[in-house]
Amino acid sequence: MLRHTNDSISVIVDGQVVVVDPGTLIVAALAMRGVRGTRQSVSGEPRAALCGMGICQECRVMVNGRSHVLACQTVCRDGQIIRTTGHL
Ligand code: FES
């Protein structure tokens, strides 16, 4: 069972609920969920967060239907639906 305190929020990562503290970055929520890949390259190779500072663009995910959101630069909001396409 996931911890859920009064201060926690929930996001949906690839259809699974992840409970996080406010201020948690999406990339951390992905790691908590066990997601190691965020997307695939145009040639089908798996990609994952690399730099953690908004430079490499490898952490791009879909958030609430919006593509190319940088997981390492975006804070989780309660109820967000996050989708990845590059499971490793
Ligand atoms: S991990 Fe490099 S831009 Fe997000």
Q: How far apart are the CA of 46 and the centre of ligand 1, in A?
A: 14
Measured in whole angstroms, the distance separating CA 48 from the mean position of its chain's CA atoms is 10
Q: Which pTM value belongs to this model?
A: 0.88
Q: Which of 35, 56, 84 to mutate to test the pocket of ligand 1 (most atoms within 8 A of CB)?
A: 56
For 64, other C-beta atoms within 10 Å of its C-beta total 12
pLDDT digits (tens, 9 = 90+) for 26-52: 999 999 999 888 988 889 888 999 999
Mean pLDDT of the chain: 91
Residue 54 resides in a domain = yes
Range 18-22 average pLDDT: 97
The residue segments making up the domain with residue 43 are: 9-83
- Identify the residues whose C-beta falls under 6 Å from ligand 1: 49-52, 54-59, 70, 72
Residue 3 resides in a domain = no
Q: How far apart are the CA of 58 and the centre of ligand 1, in A?
A: 5
pLDDT at position 72 over 70? yes
- 31: domain CATH number is 3.10.20.30
Q: How many folded domains does the chain comprise? A: 1
Residue 2 resides in a domain = no
